[in-house]
Amino acid sequence: MHMTKVGGGVQLGPLGTAATDWPIIPAPDRAIEMSADPQRSSVTEPLQPDQDQRKCGNLVAYWILGLCNNFGYVVMLSAAHDILSQNFNQNSEEESSSHSEDNSTRECNPTSTGAILLADILPSLAIKILAPFFPFLVHVRMLMVVVLAAVGFLLVALSTREWIAVLGVACTSLGSGLGEVTLLSYSSVFDKNVISTWSSGTGAAGILGASSYAGLTSLGLSAADSLLLMLIVPVVMAATFWFLLRTPGSRLHAWRSVIHCSNIDEEKTQQRPSSASVTESETSAVESAQLLTVIEKFKSIPPLLVYMIPLGLVYLFEYFINQGLFELIYFPNIWLTLHEQYRWLQVDYQIGVFLSRSSVNLFVVRKLWVLALLQFLNVIFFTFEAVYLFVPSVWIVFAVVLWEGLLGGAAYVNTFYRISVEVPFEKREFSMGITSLSDSIGIGLAGAIALPVHNILCQLPKPY
């Protein structure tokens, strides 16, 4: 037995699926009616192919959007060690040979990579705080996201001063933060599985972003030239949003819905019965979500702390490791230089993130605080390694870094998946946007802590 649409809302059918995903009886006037005749109500139609294609297209689109949105953010963190070196626009491998001629001192940049982390997260944090309280003009927001991403790559690649590069990182951060809060909020009117594909895409951004930068520089390209090649990413993001993603409740792509906005109502009335049911339910749901007042939004925040606090702690711990301790963990006389070790540790971490962000359809983690506890144990391990350099093999560090990435990705995807199924629909859009603040707050705190810790550890003599 399954349940149908009643009174403009959407009720769940078997296994938690939306009722509108199930066959619906067509009526002559193209409206959806419930028949009093039991025999008639048992007659069903198969799902229309166009509806299946639209759903699959949106799932693919959200994967690509997640990839493009986080790509620049990841690249800037992977390039952090190079950006802070003295010859960013040259082949940075020359820098590794100029580090510490004295074997009694540690190989350290003058400034911690936590500085780049702050530039990569504070603008994002600010936009995430403000965006949920402003009108949800999705096309205007996405245009800003694309432009900021492109400007960020250009400024960093063409910079001749450190502050110009940092400004470019900040532009990338603004675009990434605005993109995340916008697309997570926008996901509330799509099938709930777009959260899974979005999370998988953001995880893929980690692998592709970190590995592409590490790979291109290993092939001999300068850091600047590598970043210029990545300008293709904002172009792909724009094409995906406006040409692949389908407007909810419409058979139009996003760009056509903007151009032909005056004809959308006519388009909806010409849809088949199964599509019409989706249109009506989605439209009423979106309208109810937009009726939340500012006071109601503030009242919705305390119940979300059960999701926000564990997520924030996981990100605090893992980014303190990545941007505060990675650069201080160095294995001399192996096949990787100092700069290469930092880059490939970032790649290893992102592989773990990708694997776990793609796992929510296999299993769901209910106790999010366990992930925070396990990540804290990783902080203890890496802090001791940064101080004493006691681990005998770089492969052990690579294994623990992979585990660290698995925990971080699991915290992210399980948090937003649980919100998508546990929070009432009318509060879901706001809840998605405001919860994304918690990871940014954790990352910002990690960057602030990394700066003094870097200075303290760099003053210590080598333990060997």
Q: How far apart are the first and last CA of the chain?
A: 70
Most confident of 183-192, 196-205, 370-379, 451-460: 370-379
> Does residue 63 contact residue 204 with C-beta atoms inside 8 Å?
yes
What pLDDT digit, counting tens, does each position of 359-394 carry? Answer: 777 777 888 899 999 999 999 999 999 988 888 999
C-alpha 267/C-alpha 225 separation (Å) is 46
* Per-residue model confidence (pLDDT) at position 104: 58
CA angle at 187 for the pair 261 and 243, rounded to the nearest 5°: 50
**411 closest CA partner among 309, 323, 320, 322:** 309
On the 0-12 / 13-18 / 19+ scale of CB atoms within 10 A, 398 is middle
With a pLDDT cut of 90, the percent of the chain lying above it is 25
C-alpha 241/C-alpha 249 separation (Å) is 16
Please state which of the ranges 61-70, 142-151, 275-284, 334-343 shows the lowest mean pLDDT.
275-284
**172 closest CA partner among 192, 195, 153, 191:** 153
The answer for 8, left when phi > 0, alpha when psi is -120 to 50, beta otherwise, is: left
Give me 123's structure tokens: 């603008």
C-alpha 436/C-alpha 179 separation (Å) is 11
> Does residue 404 contact residue 318 with C-beta atoms inside 8 Å?
yes
What residue has token string 């003599």?
461
**Phi (first) and psi of residue 262, to 5 degrees:** -75, -15
> Does residue 281 contact residue 21 with C-beta atoms inside 8 Å?
no
Q: Helices 49-78 & 338-357, crossing angle to 10 degrees?
A: 160
* Amino acid at position 276, single letter: A
Most confident of 16-30, 94-108, 254-268, 380-394: 380-394
The secondary element (H helix, E strand) that includes residue 420 is helix 394-422
C-alpha 370/C-alpha 368 separation (Å) is 5
Distance, C-alpha 391 to centroid of its chain: 32
With a pLDDT cut of 70, the percent of the chain lying above it is 73
**3 closest CA partner among 27, 19, 21:** 19
More confident residue, 413 or 50: 413
Mean residue pLDDT of the chain comes to: 76
* Per-residue model confidence (pLDDT) at position 375: 95
* Per-residue model confidence (pLDDT) at position 290: 53
* Per-residue model confidence (pLDDT) at position 68: 95
pLDDT over 50 at 31, yes or no: no
C-alpha 449/C-alpha 445 separation (Å) is 6
The secondary element (H helix, E strand) that includes residue 373 is helix 368-388
Contacts of 15 (CB under 8 A, 6+ apart): none
264 pLDDT band, cuts 50/70/90, is very low
pLDDT over 80 at 45, yes or no: no
| C-alpha to C-alpha distances, 29 to 276, 277, 278, nearest whole angstrom | 11, 13, 16
Contacts of 18 (CB under 8 A, 6+ apart): 10, 12, 191, 192
pLDDT over 50 at 74, yes or no: yes
3-state class (DSSP) for residue 169: helix
> Does residue 292 contact residue 422 with C-beta atoms inside 8 Å?
no
pTM of full prediction above 0.75: no
**425 closest CA partner among 91, 9, 69:** 9
**433 closest CA partner among 203, 146, 133:** 133
C-alpha 304/C-alpha 89 separation (Å) is 44
